[in-house]
Amino acid sequence: MAHLSPDTFVDLLEGTLEESAVPHLAQCEACRDELSGLRRTWQEAMNTDVPEPSPLFWDHLSARVHEAVAAEPEPRRPWWNAAWAVRWFGLAAAAVAAIALVAFLNRPAFVDQRTAQVGGEAQGTPAASGQRLEVLPPLAEDESVGLLADLASDLDWDAVVEVGLVRPGGADRAVAELSADERVELQRLLTEAGVM
Amino acid sequence: MATSFALTCDGPSGADWNVTVVRQDAPADGPAPVLESLSEAELVAACLEGRPGAFDLIVQRHRRQVYQICYRFMNSHEDASDLSQDVFLRAYRGLKNFKGNAALGTWLHRIAVNTCLNRVAVKAPKSEPIDDADFVDAKGESASEQLLRDERAGRVRAAVAQLPPKQRAALIMRTYEDRSHQEIAQALGTSVGAAKANVFHALQNLKKILGNI
């Protein structure tokens, strides 16, 4: 006959399980005795207080802790949580955004490498319409992208979210505002960066 | 006075926007609120801002709870006193990591349990004579009743202190701190089932140590 499990004993002791819901108890004297002994032991343990120390002890303890803490360096908020960090992040984000905007506005016209290879034969492409086209250098050689990457490399995403520099859905909205060509270029850049 | 600016944009879009900048002066440097009136989260923030006395107040509010956990683990006033100091020191060092998701008391409780578990891993607890002069009679009982009760309680405390560390921790948290099995499991880094099993085996061992009571 299988006896009650520790789990069942604890549930019975704590009253989360009624004895009537455990038919085994009525049939097994060993389990009844065990339950009864555990119950008495627990009751005894519950009734045992910690001796109250001298009233002077509490101030003594506080003084000891105070001394020990005084020898410690002051705890500080994590740097990304400090007020100065929020302001700094704001300025840094504004600078990054400004650089990105300038780089974007001054960028040369671009075409997809594959489009360039066909020599603008495809109808409707900028090359076909006679625009002067320039193939962008690889991502790793682009100074503006490198600058942005350097500035962003130290930013922890959770910290950036925490200080409110980005908002949920912000990336989706930004992508939605891109033109078709810009989306193609974004896709190329992401592929090149190994994100896609 | 601290100065901030509020930016308001009106109008349909683009070049038609009217931008209004309003300067706001706020008395941010006014008198700081009295520490005693602060909530726990505000008190933690005050500590992190370096306000004198803020951590002392945290110690004052929680020292009894921390001491009692330590005493139950070690069954010694001297060890409990040393451990309590360690607990608060660890708390101070880790204060910047306190997220405020749990109550400060719960957080300190967990530090206390971990500190005690670490200590019992390297040091066997020693029992203390029950008539230690540091303790006072707070119940107003007769001398013989007090003696009998203390003797009984001393036996139980000594028995608890003999339990294996995890059983001891589980029993103390469940019996004296009213922690749920889930909380015990989290504190001990075990499953809920293992936490319950620890409580069961702790009681079983306690019963054996104490004999027939």
Question: Which of B13, B58, B141, B207 to probe the A interface (max A CBs under 10 A)?
Answer: B207
Does the beta-carbon distance from B156 to A48 stay under 8 Å?
Answer: yes
3-state secondary structure of A47: coil
**A with B: how many residue pairs have Cβ under 8 Å apart?**
119
Task: Evaluate whether residue A71 is within a structural domain.
Answer: no
Domains of chain B: 38-129 (1.10.1740.10), 148-213 (1.10.10.10)
Distance CA(A48)–CA(B125), nearest Å, equals: 18
Q: What's the mean per-residue pLDDT of chain A?
A: 74
Higher local confidence (pLDDT), B212 or B105: B105
Entry field: residues in chain A: 196
Nearest one of B61, B48, B39, B49 to B92, comparing CA atoms: B48
Please tell me the predicted confidence (pLDDT) of residue A139: 60
Least confident of A36-40, B53-57, B128-132, B143-147: B128-132
- pLDDT recorded at residue A177: 79
Residues A41 and A114 in one domain: no
pLDDT band at residue B133, thresholds of 50, 70 and 90? very low
Task: pLDDT band for A170, please (50, 70, 90 cuts).
Answer: low
Query: Residue A108's domain spans which residues?
Result: 79-192
Angle at which helices A55-70 and B77-94 pack, to 10 degrees? 40
Closest CA to B4 of B27, B29, B28, B23: B23
Per residue in A9-20, pLDDT tens? 999 999 999 999
Contacts of A45 in chain B (CB under 8 A): 156, 160, 171, 175, 203, 206
Residue A69 within a domain: no
Specify whether A186 is located in the same domain as A131.
yes
CB B92 within 8 Å of CB B48: no
- Rounded to whole angstroms, how far apart are CA atoms B158 and B74? 9
A178 DSSP 8-state letter: S
Cα B106 to Cα B35: distance, rounded to the nearest angstrom: 21
Arithmetic mean of pLDDT, B156-184: 92
Beta carbons within 8 Å of B174's beta carbon, 6+ residues apart:
B181, B184, B199
Same domain, A87 and A172: yes
**Shared domain check, A178 and A118:** yes
Yes or no, beta carbons of B89 and A50 under 8 Å apart: no
* Number of domains comprising chain A: 2
In-domain check, residue A67: no
